[in-house]
Every structure is written in C-alpha cells, then in structure tokens.
Structure 1
C-alpha cells in the first residue's frame, strides 16, 4: 500500500505590530523521532529561511539519539561528531555508568553530545542518572556586576538576561551551525519581568524560563552606515579558553559584555593553549542558503579587534579591553530592545531548532518556586569556521 501523504505545515510566526522580530516559524506534521530524508529537506530549507523553527504536537519526547541525528545532519562534512565545547570532564557515576559534563550541563550517557540544561531535579529514571539528581541552575549573583536582584524580588518575578551569545567554544572548535532544544520540564507560574538594569529603565515581560533571541540581521541593520562599514571589514580575536578566562570577572548587568575591572584570569594561568588555535572571526556572517548577512559577535569573549572601514583600508588594532568592550557595546546595544527580542515560551515536549550563525540568544532567570526547568540541548562542532560576508557596493 502507498504510504500516507503527510500534512506538513510550516507557518511563519506573527509577532504583532509593535514587534520588529521577523524570524521564526512553527512546524506541524513532522515527528522528529521518525523523521525521514524528505522531512529533513523541508526542515533544512525552512530553518535557513526562518532561522528558528518550533516543532509542535510531538507524539512523545524526542530521544537523545534522534536529537543528535537531526542536529548533525546540518553539517554533512563534519566527521568527528564532537560536542561544540570539547571533551566533557568526568562528573559522577551511577550503576557502573559514567556521567560526564558539568553540574549545570551534564551529558546524557547514551548520547553525550546532548546535554541537560536548566535547574532542578530530573524526572525519575531519566537516562541513567541517579535518583534525585539535580541540575545546577545559572545565577546572575555569581557572574553579573553588583548590585544584584534581591532574592525576594527574584521570587516575586524580577529577572535578567544572563548572557547574550551564539553557541561555540570560541577556541579551536568551529561554532555549531544549529542548536536544538527539547523542553522536558518547564517552570509553572506567571510571566516574569526582565530588567535591563543599565540605567535606561527598560524592562520586558516574558514567560518564565524563556529563551530570548535576536536576529544578527536586525543588529546589522540598526548600525549607523559608518559602523556597518567597519563591521563588514573587521575581525574579532577571541580569548583562548574564553569561558575560563572570563570566569573570574563580572558580566555587565545586561549580559552582553564583561565589566573591565582587571579580574579576568591571566592568559598565562589558563589551561594550555596555542596561538594557532585562537579563533579570529569576521563580524558579519552570511547565510549560505538565503544570502542574508548577520552581525554575529560575542561581546564577552572579545579580546582584540582588527578594525577596517573598507577592504583596502588601513587596519587599526585595538587590544585595550576597555576600548574593545566600548566598541562591542556600540555594536550590540542597539538591537537589545524589547521590540527586537523574541522570548520563546517553551512548552513540554516541543522542540526548537535555530540557526546558530544568524541568531543570538540568552537564557533568563525565574523564581525557584515555579519548579524545575529541564531541557535537552544538542549542538555539534562544525566542519568549518565562519568566513566573512562581503559588503555589496551601495
């Protein structure tokens, strides 16, 4: 008998007249646990067009093995299949099963490229984890510049963006092409109010535990013509082992840069590194399927800037961290306004897939009384490093 024809629908999201967000689509009719090659062709085209897909009405939780299979297919030239942040350290063991990762990012033993993020206790019998295993949540008290949000205000629903970034190690390993996130458990409670805490008084109501996203294309569009010329022709050198390097410093309260207090871990005190593995990336990356350009920068990891305003222009090197961060602020701050931000309201069993080379994202905090947030995330090291987009003549 012929196979049944699937009713697959890819529907662009509507964000409302007050929003400048122009990305995102919902997908119905594809069971990601059973997706076919023809299904993937639809997913591949839709993701590059819409930059973020939300898969609804999944019959059951996406298995880690299938989540990995879906994610890795976006890069057929990648052969190692490695986690985008490198080899995980040993964490614990249970019933003779070794578990690797970090307390806030344990890897699932049956598919170690899939990690568990969020906060709180895992469901019972969850993929070989010991009973009562709790994922350590992020807490801006340990990373953001004081003053912090008092605990009673956090419990009442005040929140922050933790870190605006694209996924990647920023050292040695090429950043993933896509990210994939499965909602296993979501916090239950009223919306929270994210505060910028940068002196502007800006705030935004979002779902608790939402993943916030902005488009690099919108960030590029909002730059002045002069800054846009520089972005197209300039590069950023990222610190070696940059997450270790910044671990002793403070993030800005908005989560887009690091405060310059001289608290970074000295480069000669980091775990061993070599110059040839340091990542220096263009500021503007091109979507290979649509040709769209995106400003893709990581403000917290930036160590040095190589600035030019035209392909043949004179290059200015900036290695003073205060100046580096002031410039990164000029690039990143314009897009970080409520009208440009999409905060995804996760629903259990839904899967979101995003194009990591065109969007920035940030996790957000929520009251502990709302319960656990348990997510499965997969990202795989790419086969290539980003290359510069070329600016067309005006």
Structure 2
C-alpha cells in the first residue's frame, strides 16, 4: 500500500478586485517531522504558488524553522546576508536581532522584549518609510496611512548567492486598525492593508506583463550590483512607491566602503528561471543595481539611467490588483520563493504595540538559474 502525505494545497482566494495568481495555504503538515514525500509536495507547491502559508505554527522551534529552510538547499548553512548584518552602517543593522542558539534565524518586529529565545531586554524596531523615503507621508496622517517601505529580495548581493527561500513566522501580532497604502507616484494608486502586512508581488507576472521588446531586454540584460550594497545605499532615499532609489549622489563612494573584493561583486541575470515550472521571473533588487550590462556588451553606468530602466520594467508588476498583502495571524508561517517574488514590509506601530517575527534565509549554494 502506497504511503500518502496528509498535506493538502489550497490556493489563496484573491480579495475582491485583486488579480493575483499566486499564494497557497498548506494544511496537514507536521513541520517538526517532514518526510521525503511531504517535502516533495511542499517544494512543488512553493514553486507553483511562490508564497505558502502554514497556520498554527506557534510551537515551531527556531531549529525546526532553520531545518525546514535548509531542506530547500541542503548544502548551505550560513545566514543569507552573511556579515552584512553586523556592519553598523548597513541599512539592515537596526532591523534584525540574531537568536544566539540558532544564528541563522533572526528576530524582527516592534517594541520592547524582556526575554525571547536567549535574547534579553531587546527593543525591536519596525522599519518605517519615513527613515528611507525622500518624501514621507505627513506625520499627522501616519496612523491611518502608509507606504511600501522597500521592495526587495532577501540577498547579500555581494559575495554570497541569493537564498532560495525565506521562512517568516508570526510569533506575536498586535491587533490594530487597517491602513490605506499610498503609492504617491502620480498615478493615484492606493491599497487597503492590515497594519504591518507584508506585501508580495510575483516577478513571473511582472515579466509576463512586459511587451515582447521589453521581455527580450530583460532576458538578455545582466545586473551588476553595487559592492557592499546596503552600506553603499545607506544615505540614499527611496521613491515613494518603495521601488528603487532616487539619484542624488548620496551613495557611499567606493573608496569609503569596506574593502572591495572584485570577485565578490555580483553580476546576475535580470531574469531568473523557476526550477519546476520553467517560467521566467523579472527578478531584480530595485535598490541595489549599480550598472546594467546589455546584450551587445554595452555597460550602462549612469546610475539615474540604470534606475530608470529598472523601475520602468518593474513598476507594472506592483499595481494594486497584483499585490498580495498578508494579514498576519499569530502562528502563521510563510515560506516564499526568494527567486520569484519581491516583498516589502508596510505600516507603522505605536508605543506599546509589540510585534515579534522570526525570519530565516540561507545563502544559496549556487546562483539563480538564468534564462
């Protein structure tokens, strides 16, 4: 008699007015005891749906979260951002705390925490767009209105391959009112989101939306990322839609960065291929590119031009009807395809609103599949 898995896959029902074609909830999984058959189902579901939700995972240990993450790329063990987290000038430094007994897992959230997984008397800080955007929302409107903070992929983009997946567990979620999210880019686009929702868009859908000419451009162009990108961009400011930076000459000069090793500079294809479906994703971290290398070998070095070209092809993919904004409940575990979606935090919290999440991603054992 054939052994069957108890795991079932249920597509996420898009909210009214939405046209998302990704996301699924997986039921019946025992994530502390994953069989080979279970993982085959989970892996296929991930690459077919890009974002998976497992409910009621409050008791999942950091070790089990790490082991689940590692199943997608068993050859790796190190945190996906490497030493980037420890660089004081990095824009990532204030947002993450490392679990001492499981250093591949980070704690993120908001508010004071007396004791959690070996961390004592820490204060978590939810990223707020006012620290990163050139033109933030009026503080008087901050309680009811928000922005996409920074669309990104989870990757060091220097010296380490991008992680295949990220796992994100909602440990403690404050119950608060929703917010109106504004793009503030002249389009009038806006979106209703739960406070602190994590927004996702499918980079496969973004590629499919392009004209044939732009698809050819995307398939044949390579992106050269800045060395030590999160220090390089630390003084620059974002567009109001959170999709890339404004060019004002505020990037940290190479001479002021930590020592640059030329072999660690990342040059990646603009399109990454799904290992299960074969679909192409337009997968670029919109804030980190420094140069573009075109099909004929031409190198676009003008930073404003580079950013304009990337924004032009990515912006259609973050239209409101294409955004999956997760409304978190305590115990939700999200597993997402870091090679096929962009994501961003949203929202703001007030003093006394405590939020605790655990995040894990592991540097890839090899680079992404190109077109």
Q: Which TM-score bucket, shorter chain as reference?
A: over 0.9
Q: How many Å separate the matches in 2 of 1:204 and 1:352?
A: 21
Change (3 A) 1:229 1:55: same
In the other structure, the counterpart of 2:50 is 51
Shift of 1:385: 1.1
Superposition map of 1:106-117 within 5 A: 106-117=97-108
- Aligned partner (choices 209, 223, 226) of residue 236 of structure 1: 223
Q: Is the 8 A contact 2:56 2:330 kept in 1?
A: no
Which residue matches 2:233? 246
**Partner of residue 70, structure 1:** 68
Alignment match, 1:154: 142
Q: Note if contact 1:245-1:266 (Cα within 8 Å) is conserved in structure 2.
A: yes
1:305 maps to what in 2?
292
Of 86, 90, 93, the match for 1:89? 86
How far apart, in 2, do the equivalents of 1:66 and 1:218 lie? Answer: 32
Among 321, 338, 343, the alignment partner of 1:356 is 338
In structure 1, the residue matched to 2:305 is 323
Alignment partners' CA distance in 1, 2:56 and 2:348: 26
Contact 1:61–1:184 (8 Å) recurs in 2: no
SS in 1 for 2:104: strand
Report the Cα distance in structure 1 between the residues aligned to 2:227 and 2:15, rounded to whole angstroms: 41
Moved more, 251-260 or 376-385: 251-260
User: Could you tell me which residue of structure 1 aligns to residue 9 of structure 2?
Assistant: 10
Q: Which residue of 1 aligns with 2:131?
A: 142
* Cα distance between partner residues in 2 of 1:18 and 1:85: 36
- 1:337 aligns to what? 319
Q: Measure, in 2, the Cα distance between the counterparts of 1:63 and 1:40.
A: 18
Q: 2:119 is paired with a residue of what secondary structure? A: coil
In the alignment, structure 1 residue 128 sits paired with structure 2 residue 128 = no
Seen in structure 2, the aligned counterparts of structure 1 residues 184 and 204 have a Cα distance that, compared at 3 Å, is same
In 1: Cα distance, 2:75 partner to 2:45 partner: 20
SS at 1:75 equivalent: coil
The CA deviation at 1:207 is 1.1
- Distance in 2 (CA, whole Å) between partners of 1:158 and 1:138 is 15
Stretch moving more, 135-144 or 275-284: 135-144
Between the two proteins, the alignment pairs up a number of residues equal to: 366
Counterpart for residue 95 of structure 1: none
The yes-or-no answer on 1:27 pairing with 2:15 is: no
Q: Which moved more, 1:222-231 or 1:29-38?
A: 29-38
Residue 217 of structure 1 contacts residue 292 of structure 1 at CA under 8 Å; is this kept in 2? Answer: yes
- Whole-angstrom distance in 2 between the partners of 1:25 and 1:173: 29
In the other structure, the counterpart of 2:364 is: 382
Per-residue deviation, 1:139: 2.0
Measured at CA, do residues 166 and 89 of structure 1 come closer, stay the same or move farther in structure 2, by a change above 3 Å?
A: closer
Paired residues of 1:118 and 1:373 also in contact (CA < 8 A)? yes
Is 2:5–2:37's contact at 8 Å kept on the other side of the alignment?
Answer: no
Question: What TM-score do the two structures reach when normalised by structure 2?
Answer: 0.94
Deviation at 1:20, TM superposition (A): 2.1
Between stretches 358-367 and 9-18, larger displacement belongs to: 9-18
Check conservation: 1:84, 1:175, Cα contact below 8 A. Answer: yes
TM-score by length of 1: 0.89
Task: Report the aligned-residue RMSD.
Answer: 2.0
Assess, with a 3 A threshold, how the Cα gap between structure 1 residues 32 and 119 changes in structure 2: closer, same or farther: same
Tell whether the 8 Å contact from 1:188 to 1:370 is kept in structure 2 after alignment.
Answer: no
User: Does the 8 Å contact 1:154/1:367 carry over to 2?
Assistant: no
Structure 1 unaligned regions, length at least 5: 92-100, 309-313, 390-394
8 A Cα contact 1:186 1:209, kept in partner? no
Alpha-carbon shift at residue 103 of structure 1 (Å): 3.5
Within 5 Å, give how 1:152-231 maps onto structure 2.
Answer: 152-155=140-143, 157-231=144-218
What is the CA–CA distance in structure 2 between the aligned matches of 1:194 and 1:17, rounded to whole Å?
Answer: 17
Deviations 1:13-70 (A, max 9, x none): 1215632211111011112233333322221121111111100233x43110000000
CA contact (8 A) 1:21 1:339 kept: yes
1:224 Cα offset (Å): 1.7
**Unaligned stretches of 5+ in structure 2?**
none
State the Cα distance separating 1:76 from its structure 2 match.
2.3
